[in-house]
Structure 1
């Protein structure tokens, strides 16, 4: 980041979040974001972990050997070969959300590639309770990708397209992405425009997520993390159903897991060195 010099730093840490769909690496200098990278997770998690970390370090003059502590998290956290510790993505997203959005955060929604987590946390970003969706792509980033391919809309535009309808249609099935896909195909054959079909899927996904949030118990302030946090179609529908606005992120919420891991790495190094 501009104005930061790692040569003057006391502690340099990294968090590597190997997700089922995307992988992220964050480099922190004395607890502040210094560099990061995001890429698609490849077929071999260990190779992806190495690539995404080296990409974050590229051009900084730093190497992996210069990092004081590294924490791995995410779906493939055990496959980060240079990590000194692994920590669950639930704990890392809560801590990362605290850093990105501030200490007033109490409910974190992490919509990952293959699961969705509702997390309650305290003023320090520590997890109090959480719930995960059942094992189905419905209500996840992967489900959105399948749907984007089905109606031939780029994934980055899908949320915006879903909001371009004059009236919200009834939602499709929200229990299974296969059922939802079959239902959407039937609607397209009936002559529905892809915007209306996208709205029906987003409405179904929002309903499913709200049910999860209500079961964990939603408390202000509410935020979203992960790649789906950038989907305006999901975020705006959640805000409408919940009757609350989410906080505006200070940086990309897709980095929350890796950021939380890097913050844990700093705390672990300080403990190891007797600094706390």
Structure 2
């Protein structure tokens, strides 16, 4: 029997199908209807992989839109799923850093993936995937380009002080007006996010390997 996990996030929806030792996944934008995208993504991945709903033994829903999935067997919080998932993929991990579309989390877990403590920033979009989307649009880029370009910093490092999306956007526009190249500006954005996450990590403590996942993992090498 198959096990299916559906994560309906604020920006993207992810579906994973486990069939013994085979794992398949699908990622697509969430859009305006969490219920519809969750259902469509579920059937899409089954059809793509050659499975039928009758072969599915259990479905777990999580994420921002998890309550919009009436066909799942169980609904679990993102934080619990992060802990178990990190332990499954990286058994030695003791800390999970998750940069979501609209919030960021630092989660301490034990050897079995159970959550011991966590800190979450959900007050604003600062340092999240949405933050990077806005900054990419301001720079006239696709968000997928930020990682590669951020490694090409040529000038002396510049600083972006504000983590508020609105004020940081103004700082980016100001840097470009001063002639600062895009690569250096992107690198400054990466550093500002890293500082914010480092402060959260310092509050909760770290004593082992870290699992880094989420939106900013796309640009992890640049930070």
TM-score range, shorter chain: over 0.9
How far apart are the structure 2 equivalents of 1:206 and 1:152?
23
TM-score after normalising by structure 2 = 0.94
- Residue 69 of structure 1 is matched in structure 2 by 58
- Residue 217 of structure 1 is matched in structure 2 by 205
Aligned pairs for 1:49-198 within 5 A:
49-101=38-90, 103-166=91-154, 169-198=157-186
Deviating above 3 A after TM superposition, structure 1's stretches of 4 or more consecutive aligned residues are none
How far apart are the structure 1 equivalents of 2:84 and 2:161?
33
- Residue 208 of structure 1 is matched in structure 2 by 196
Cα drift, residue 107 of structure 1: 0.6
- Residue 14 of structure 1 is matched in structure 2 by 4
Q: For the structure 1 residues 65 and 173, does the alpha-carbon distance in structure 2 shift closer, same or farther, using more than 3 Å as the test? A: farther
Count residues in correspondence: 223
Cα drift, residue 167 of structure 1: 5.1
Could you report, residue by residue, the CA deviation over 1:104-137 in whole angstroms, capped at 9, with x for unpaired residues?
A: 1001101110010000001111111100114211
Contact 2:16 2:24 in 1 (8 A): yes
Q: Which has the higher strand share?
A: 2
Could you say what secondary structure the match of 1:58 adopts?
helix
Gaps in structure 2 of 5+ consecutive residues: none
Could you say what secondary structure the match of 2:48 adopts?
coil
Could you report, residue by residue, the CA deviation over 1:47-76 in whole angstroms, capped at 9, with x for unpaired residues?
A: 010111112112333233431111100010
Deviates more, 1:85-94 or 1:167-176: 167-176
- Residue 26 of structure 2 is matched in structure 1 by 37
- Could you say which structure has the greater relative contact order, defined with CA pairs below 8 angstroms and 6 or more residues apart? 1
How far apart are the structure 1 equivalents of 2:141 and 2:54?
42
